[in-house]
Amino acid sequence: AQSVTQLGSHVSVSEGALVLLRCNYSSSVPPYLFWYVQYPNQGLQLLLKYTSAATLVKGINGFEAEFKKSETSFHLTKPSAHMSDAAEYFCAVSLSGYALNFGKGTSLLVTP
Amino acid sequence: DAGVIQSPRHEVTEMGQEVTLRCKPISGHDYLFWYRQTMMRGLELLIYFNNNVPIDDSGMPEDRFSAKMPNASFSTLKIQPSEPRDSAVYFCASSLTSGGQETQYFGPGTRLLVL
Protein backbone atom coordinates (compact mmCIF):
# COMPACT_ATOMS: atom_id res chain seq x y z
CA ALA A 1 0.00 0.00 0.00
CA GLN A 2 1.16 3.52 -0.64
CA SER A 3 2.53 5.47 2.31
CA VAL A 4 4.61 8.52 3.17
CA THR A 5 7.36 9.08 5.69
CA GLN A 6 8.06 12.52 7.05
CA LEU A 7 11.59 12.87 8.35
CA GLY A 8 11.73 14.94 11.51
CA SER A 9 8.74 15.37 13.75
CA HIS A 10 10.00 18.83 14.76
CA VAL A 11 11.87 21.39 12.69
CA SER A 12 13.05 24.74 13.99
CA VAL A 13 14.19 27.60 11.76
CA SER A 14 14.96 31.25 12.26
CA GLU A 15 12.72 33.87 10.74
CA GLY A 16 13.99 34.57 7.23
CA ALA A 17 15.76 31.24 6.90
CA LEU A 18 15.03 28.49 4.40
CA VAL A 19 12.30 26.05 5.33
CA LEU A 20 12.79 22.43 4.26
CA LEU A 21 10.34 19.75 5.31
CA ARG A 22 11.07 16.25 4.05
CA CYS A 23 8.64 13.68 2.71
CA ASN A 24 9.38 10.36 1.06
CA TYR A 25 6.73 8.18 -0.46
CA SER A 26 6.37 4.50 -1.06
CA SER A 27 4.34 3.52 -4.08
CA SER A 28 4.67 1.06 -6.91
CA VAL A 29 2.98 3.41 -9.35
CA PRO A 30 3.15 7.19 -9.74
CA PRO A 31 1.14 8.61 -6.88
CA TYR A 32 -0.71 11.81 -6.22
CA LEU A 33 1.05 13.76 -3.46
CA PHE A 34 -0.14 16.54 -1.21
CA TRP A 35 1.07 18.90 1.47
CA TYR A 36 -1.44 20.15 4.02
CA VAL A 37 -0.93 22.64 6.85
CA GLN A 38 -2.71 22.64 10.19
CA TYR A 39 -2.72 25.71 12.41
CA PRO A 40 -3.49 25.25 16.12
CA ASN A 41 -7.05 24.18 16.80
CA GLN A 42 -7.97 24.27 13.13
CA GLY A 43 -8.61 21.80 10.34
CA LEU A 44 -6.17 20.99 7.57
CA GLN A 45 -5.68 23.31 4.62
CA LEU A 46 -4.18 22.33 1.29
CA LEU A 47 -0.82 23.94 0.54
CA LEU A 48 -0.12 22.25 -2.79
CA LYS A 49 -0.53 19.02 -4.71
CA TYR A 50 1.34 17.03 -7.32
CA THR A 51 -0.77 15.52 -10.07
CA SER A 52 1.93 14.69 -12.65
CA ALA A 53 1.45 17.89 -14.66
CA ALA A 54 4.75 19.39 -13.46
CA THR A 55 7.43 18.17 -11.10
CA LEU A 56 7.85 21.56 -9.41
CA VAL A 57 4.64 22.55 -7.75
CA LYS A 58 3.95 25.99 -6.34
CA GLY A 59 1.46 26.43 -3.58
CA ILE A 60 0.04 29.07 -1.32
CA ASN A 61 1.98 31.29 1.08
CA GLY A 62 5.21 31.00 -0.94
CA PHE A 63 5.65 27.24 -0.48
CA GLU A 64 6.71 24.89 -3.22
CA ALA A 65 7.60 21.22 -3.56
CA GLU A 66 9.49 19.17 -6.10
CA PHE A 67 8.54 15.66 -7.10
CA LYS A 68 11.64 13.51 -7.59
CA LYS A 69 10.81 10.05 -8.78
CA SER A 70 14.40 8.81 -8.57
CA GLU A 71 14.49 9.74 -4.90
CA THR A 72 10.81 8.97 -4.18
CA SER A 73 10.65 12.35 -2.50
CA PHE A 74 8.33 15.34 -2.36
CA HIS A 75 10.05 17.80 -0.05
CA LEU A 76 8.39 21.09 0.87
CA THR A 77 10.40 24.30 0.79
CA LYS A 78 10.03 28.01 1.35
CA PRO A 79 12.91 30.44 0.77
CA SER A 80 12.24 32.66 3.76
CA ALA A 81 10.31 31.64 6.87
CA HIS A 82 7.78 33.93 8.50
CA MET A 83 6.55 33.70 12.05
CA SER A 84 3.10 32.95 10.67
CA ASP A 85 4.43 29.73 9.09
CA ALA A 86 4.61 28.05 12.49
CA ALA A 87 2.20 25.12 12.22
CA GLU A 88 1.95 21.37 11.70
CA TYR A 89 2.65 20.18 8.16
CA PHE A 90 1.40 16.91 6.72
CA CYS A 91 2.47 15.08 3.61
CA ALA A 92 -0.12 12.75 2.10
CA VAL A 93 -0.31 10.25 -0.75
CA SER A 94 -3.15 8.87 -2.80
CA LEU A 95 -3.43 6.43 -5.64
CA SER A 96 -7.13 6.52 -6.25
CA GLY A 97 -7.44 10.24 -5.94
CA TYR A 98 -9.81 9.91 -3.08
CA ALA A 99 -8.62 8.35 0.17
CA LEU A 100 -5.52 10.06 1.53
CA ASN A 101 -2.79 8.37 3.56
CA PHE A 102 -1.11 10.97 5.77
CA GLY A 103 2.35 11.08 7.25
CA LYS A 104 2.89 11.61 10.97
CA GLY A 105 3.36 15.33 10.50
CA THR A 106 6.18 17.80 11.10
CA SER A 107 5.83 20.62 13.56
CA LEU A 108 7.54 23.78 12.29
CA LEU A 109 8.79 26.28 14.84
CA VAL A 110 9.93 29.70 13.64
CA THR A 111 12.12 31.67 16.01
CA PRO A 112 12.71 35.42 15.88
CA ASP B 1 -19.18 29.28 1.01
CA ALA B 2 -19.28 28.33 4.69
CA GLY B 3 -16.89 25.43 4.26
CA VAL B 4 -17.26 22.09 6.00
CA ILE B 5 -19.22 22.47 9.22
CA GLN B 6 -18.79 20.17 12.18
CA SER B 7 -20.61 20.01 15.46
CA PRO B 8 -20.05 20.01 18.28
CA ARG B 9 -16.59 21.56 18.35
CA HIS B 10 -15.88 20.07 21.74
CA GLU B 11 -17.45 17.11 23.49
CA VAL B 12 -16.72 15.76 26.95
CA THR B 13 -18.47 12.59 27.95
CA GLU B 14 -18.17 9.68 30.30
CA MET B 15 -17.13 6.20 29.37
CA GLY B 16 -20.05 4.13 28.18
CA GLN B 17 -22.06 7.04 26.84
CA GLU B 18 -23.13 7.40 23.23
CA VAL B 19 -21.44 10.14 21.23
CA THR B 20 -22.68 11.53 17.93
CA LEU B 21 -20.54 13.78 15.77
CA ARG B 22 -22.08 15.71 12.91
CA CYS B 23 -20.82 17.02 9.61
CA LYS B 24 -22.23 19.20 6.86
CA PRO B 25 -20.07 19.01 3.72
CA ILE B 26 -19.58 21.78 1.22
CA SER B 27 -22.64 22.05 -0.98
CA GLY B 28 -22.24 20.10 -4.22
CA HIS B 29 -19.38 17.93 -3.03
CA ASP B 30 -19.91 14.24 -3.68
CA TYR B 31 -17.24 12.73 -1.43
CA LEU B 32 -17.21 12.85 2.35
CA PHE B 33 -14.44 11.59 4.62
CA TRP B 34 -14.14 11.01 8.36
CA TYR B 35 -10.66 11.12 9.93
CA ARG B 36 -9.39 10.72 13.47
CA GLN B 37 -6.28 12.46 14.79
CA THR B 38 -4.35 11.34 17.85
CA MET B 39 -0.83 11.97 19.05
CA MET B 40 0.02 8.30 18.90
CA ARG B 41 -1.46 7.35 15.54
CA GLY B 42 -1.58 10.64 13.67
CA LEU B 43 -4.33 11.16 11.08
CA GLU B 44 -6.29 8.04 10.22
CA LEU B 45 -9.01 7.66 7.63
CA LEU B 46 -12.03 6.03 9.23
CA ILE B 47 -14.55 5.88 6.40
CA TYR B 48 -15.54 7.67 3.26
CA PHE B 49 -18.71 8.07 1.22
CA ASN B 50 -19.42 8.76 -2.43
CA ASN B 51 -22.85 10.12 -3.27
CA ASN B 52 -24.01 9.15 0.24
CA VAL B 53 -22.88 5.52 -0.16
CA PRO B 54 -20.11 4.16 2.09
CA ILE B 55 -17.17 3.13 -0.10
CA ASP B 56 -14.51 2.06 2.36
CA ASP B 57 -15.00 1.58 6.09
CA SER B 58 -11.90 -0.50 6.69
CA GLY B 59 -10.50 2.21 8.95
CA MET B 60 -13.37 2.05 11.42
CA PRO B 61 -11.69 0.72 14.55
CA GLU B 62 -14.44 -1.56 15.78
CA ASP B 63 -18.15 -2.20 15.89
CA ARG B 64 -18.64 0.54 18.44
CA PHE B 65 -18.14 3.01 15.58
CA SER B 66 -20.76 3.63 12.92
CA ALA B 67 -21.24 6.30 10.27
CA LYS B 68 -24.18 7.31 8.16
CA MET B 69 -24.89 9.75 5.40
CA PRO B 70 -28.66 10.00 5.00
CA ASN B 71 -28.42 12.77 2.41
CA ALA B 72 -25.89 14.84 0.52
CA SER B 73 -25.72 17.54 3.15
CA PHE B 74 -25.37 15.61 6.37
CA SER B 75 -23.31 12.83 7.91
CA THR B 76 -22.91 11.43 11.42
CA LEU B 77 -20.23 9.44 13.16
CA LYS B 78 -21.49 7.61 16.21
CA ILE B 79 -19.57 5.90 18.99
CA GLN B 80 -21.54 3.60 21.25
CA PRO B 81 -20.40 2.89 23.89
CA SER B 82 -17.54 5.36 24.12
CA GLU B 83 -14.23 4.51 25.77
CA PRO B 84 -11.34 6.71 26.96
CA ARG B 85 -9.16 5.51 24.09
CA ASP B 86 -11.62 7.13 21.68
CA SER B 87 -10.46 10.54 22.85
CA ALA B 88 -9.17 12.31 19.76
CA VAL B 89 -9.94 15.06 17.28
CA TYR B 90 -12.35 13.88 14.62
CA PHE B 91 -12.28 15.63 11.25
CA CYS B 92 -14.77 15.60 8.45
CA ALA B 93 -13.65 16.50 4.92
CA SER B 94 -15.38 16.76 1.57
CA SER B 95 -14.33 16.91 -2.06
CA LEU B 96 -15.80 17.25 -5.52
CA THR B 97 -15.09 14.86 -8.37
CA SER B 98 -13.73 16.97 -11.19
CA GLY B 99 -11.77 14.57 -13.35
CA GLY B 100 -8.47 15.66 -11.87
CA GLN B 101 -6.90 15.29 -8.47
CA GLU B 102 -9.52 16.39 -6.03
CA THR B 103 -8.70 18.55 -3.04
CA GLN B 104 -10.20 17.57 0.28
CA TYR B 105 -11.59 20.43 2.34
CA PHE B 106 -11.46 19.87 6.05
CA GLY B 107 -13.77 21.03 8.77
CA PRO B 108 -12.45 22.50 12.04
CA GLY B 109 -12.79 19.17 13.83
CA THR B 110 -14.55 17.90 16.94
CA ARG B 111 -12.35 17.48 19.98
CA LEU B 112 -13.67 14.49 21.93
CA LEU B 113 -12.67 13.66 25.47
CA VAL B 114 -14.00 10.48 27.03
CA LEU B 115 -13.50 10.33 30.78
Q: Which residues of B touch A23 (CB under 8 A)?
A: none
Instruction: Write the residue in B4, B55, B101 that is nearest to A97 by C-beta.
Output: B101
pLDDT at residue B21 greater than cutoff 90: yes
CB-based burial, A83-100: b 16+ in 10 Å, e otherwise: eebbbbbbbbbbeebbbb
Q: Which residues of B touch A49 (CB under 8 A)?
A: 101, 103
Q: Does B48 touch chain A (CB under 8 A)?
A: yes
* Integer Cα distance of B84 and B63 in angstroms: 16
**What are the tens digits of pLDDT across the range A21-77?**
999 998 777 788 999 999 988 889 999 998 877 889 999 999 999 999 899 999 999
Average pLDDT over residues B82-101: 87
Q: How many CB pairs under 8 A join A and B?
A: 49
Instruction: Write the residue in B55, B100, B107 that is nearest to A51 by C-beta.
Output: B100
Average pLDDT over residues B69-92: 96
Instruction: Write the residue in B48, B105, B106 that is nearest to A99 by C-beta.
Output: B48
